[in-house]
Amino acid sequence: MHFILIFLLIFLLFFGPQFWAKRTFKKHAKPLARLQGTGGELARHLLDRFDLKNIGVEKTKPGGDHYDPQSQMVRLSPDNFDQKSLTAVAVAAHEVGHAIQHQHNEPKFSLRTRLVVTAHKIQRIGAAAMLIIPLVMLITRTPYSGLLMLVIGLLSLSSAAIVHLVTLPVELDASFGKALPILKEGYISKQDEAAVNSVLKAAAYTYVAASLASLLNIGRWLILLRK
């Protein structure tokens, strides 16, 4: 009985935020004729309105909505790019919010960008370290060298979780400091504000879900190494 409760607790901790975010996006993804345009059209309009004509908008893979500061591109999943839904316009406004942060050189966004680049490099090093641990231990025949490599590997894998958690304020600002005030200026009706607020919250906390998934990956490595 205790094992089942622990399993359910772990399941809710690691997968609950992802399930909630996906459910929220799906719940408000129904096309609505009363909306003025699709997510892709709104993103283009807002970028032009805020004098960000150098930033492009393009369609990407499902679930891949993001703003890429390197290529200066707002990328929206097919449904959010093509449809007139509350999810589409909210996600589009959220990603444009990141573009505005970039334009204004906001310190938190700049820090997040640097951390993401660094984390990717560290993760590659860490993944390699985790793979060569058995080989190092076999060659040196000392447990300390393997332990050192293990620590390096785990720290590198945890870097993704740290980045996501540290940059949560950037996501919250994109949703509630940028997107929501803009959308309230006439892009959505009063009756839609609660739903849009939910979608924007899910968009911001998607990074928390990603952080927990990173921690779960660390746990998987620990289990494999104990065998």
Distance CA 209, CA 214 (A): 9
> Average pLDDT, whole number, for the chain?
82
Range in 74-78, 110-114, 165-169, 222-226 the model is least confident about: 222-226
Q: Please give the pLDDT value at position 114.
A: 81
**Domain extent listing, the chain:** 2-226
The per-residue pLDDT for range 143-162, each reduced to its tens digit, is 665 566 666 666 666 666 67
pLDDT digits (tens, 9 = 90+) for 36-92: 999 999 999 999 999 999 999 999 999 899 999 999 999 999 999 999 999 999 999
* Parallel/antiparallel/unpaired status of strands 56-59 and 73-76: parallel
pLDDT at 155: 67
What pLDDT digit, counting tens, does each position of 194-203 carry?
Answer: 999 999 999 9
The 3-state DSSP composition of the chain as helix, strand, coil percent (nearest 5) reads: 75, 5, 20
The predicted model gives 124-132 an average pLDDT of 68
**Looking at the annotation, which residues are catalytic?**
95
Residues 6+ apart with CB under 8 A from 33: 84
For range 162-177, the mean pLDDT: 84
Whether pLDDT at 20 is above 90: no
Cα–Cα distance for residue pair 226/125, rounded to 1 Å? 21
Lowest model confidence (mean pLDDT) among 99-103, 200-204, 214-218: 214-218
